[in-house]
Amino acid sequence: MGTPLRTVALVLVLGILGGCTSDAPAKPPPSTTPGVVDPTDFSLGPVNPSASGDAAVSVSTVARHLDIPWGLTFLPDGSALVTERRTLRILRIGPGRAANGSLTVTPVTKISEATADNEGGLLGIAASPRFALDQTVYIYYTTDIDNRIAKLKLNERPRPIVTGIPRGGIHDGGRLAFGPDGYLYATTGEASLTDAAQDLNNLGGKVLRMTVDGKPPPGNPFRGSLVWSYGHRNPEGMDWDADGNMYVAEIGQAVWDELNVIRPGGNYGWPRVEGIGNNPKYIDPVVAWHPEVGVSAGVAVVGGTAIVTCLRGQRIYLVGVEGVGKQEAEQQAGSRPSEGAGPDTLGVRWRPSAGVTKQPAEALTMKYGRLRTAIKAPDGSVWLTTSNRDGRNPNGPTVEDDRILRLMLRPVAAPGPR
Average pLDDT over residues 271-286: 94
What's the pLDDT score for residue 412?
61
The answer to whether residue 271 scores a pLDDT higher than 50 is yes
Cβ proximity of 367 and 341 under 8 Å? no
Mean pLDDT score of the chain, rounded to an integer? 86
Q: Say if 258 falls within a structural domain.
A: yes
User: Per-residue pLDDT for 81 more than 90?
Assistant: yes
Mean pLDDT, rounded, for 133-162: 98
Identify the domain containing residue 346 by its residue range.
3-23+38-411
Q: Which helix (H) or strand (E) holds 12?
A: helix 10-18
Instruction: Quote the pLDDT of residue 410.
Output: 78
Tell me, what's the pLDDT at 8?
A: 34
For the chain, counts of helices (H) and of strands (E)? 3, 28
- Mean pLDDT over 209-228 rounds to 99
By the 8 A CB rule, do 354 and 325 touch?
A: no
Region of residue 311 (left: phi > 0; alpha: psi -120 to 50; beta: else): alpha
24, with CB counted inside 10 A (0-12, 13-18, 19+), is middle
Residue 142 forms part of a structural domain:
yes
Q: Specify the 3-state DSSP secondary structure of 49.
A: coil
C-alpha distances in Å from residue 166, one per residue of 87, 236, 269: 21, 15, 19
Judge whether 28 lies within some domain. no
Query: How would residue 14 be classed by pLDDT, with cut points 50, 70 and 90?
Result: very low
| From 38-47, 190-199, 332-341, the region with the lowest mean pLDDT | 38-47
* Mean local confidence (pLDDT), 130-143: 98
Nearest to 264 by CA among 340, 179, 201, 337: 179
Decide if pLDDT at 48 tops 50: no
Q: In this prediction, what percent of the chain has a pLDDT beyond 70?
A: 81
pLDDT band for position 222 (50/70/90)?
very high
> Is 293 a domain residue?
yes
188 belongs to a structural domain: yes
Q: Give the closest residue to 74 by CA, choosing from 408, 406, 410, 409.
A: 406
As a whole number of angstroms, the distance between CA 122 and CA 147 comes to 10
- The confidence band for 5, taking pLDDT boundaries of 50, 70 and 90, is very low
Residue 27 has pLDDT above 80, yes or no: no
CATH number assigned to the domain comprising residue 114 = 2.120.10.30
Q: Residue 410 burial by CB count (10 A; 0-12/13-18/19+): exposed, middle or buried?
A: exposed
Cis peptide before 146 (omega within 30 of 0): no
Using CA atoms, how far apart are residues 409 and 43, in angstroms rounded to an integer?
10
Structure confidence at residue 333 (pLDDT): 54
Q: pLDDT tens digits, residue range 346-378?
A: 899 999 989 998 999 999 999 999 999 999 999
The answer to whether 136 and 152 have CB atoms below 8 angstroms apart is yes
Query: What is the torsional sign of CA 386, 391, 394, 399?
Result: positive
Q: Quick one: pLDDT at residue 335?
A: 44
What is the Cα–Cα distance from 53 to 47, expressed in whole angstroms?
8
Residue 192: inside a domain:
yes
Encode 306-326 in three state secondary structure: EEEEECCCCEEEEEECCCHHH
How many CB atoms lie under 10 A from the CB of residue 278? 16
251 with 257: CB under 8 angstroms?
yes
Q: Can you give the pTM of this predicted structure? A: 0.88
Q: Is the pLDDT of residue 385 over 60?
A: yes
Per-residue pLDDT, 234: 99
First to last CA, the chain: 45
**Residue 254 exposure: Cα atoms within 13 Å on the Cβ side:** 18
| Rounded Cα gap, residues 233 and 173, in angstroms | 8
Question: What are the tens digits of pLDDT across the range 151-191?
Answer: 999 989 999 999 999 999 899 999 999 999 999 999 999 99
How many separate domains does the chain show? 1
Mean pLDDT of 196-222: 99
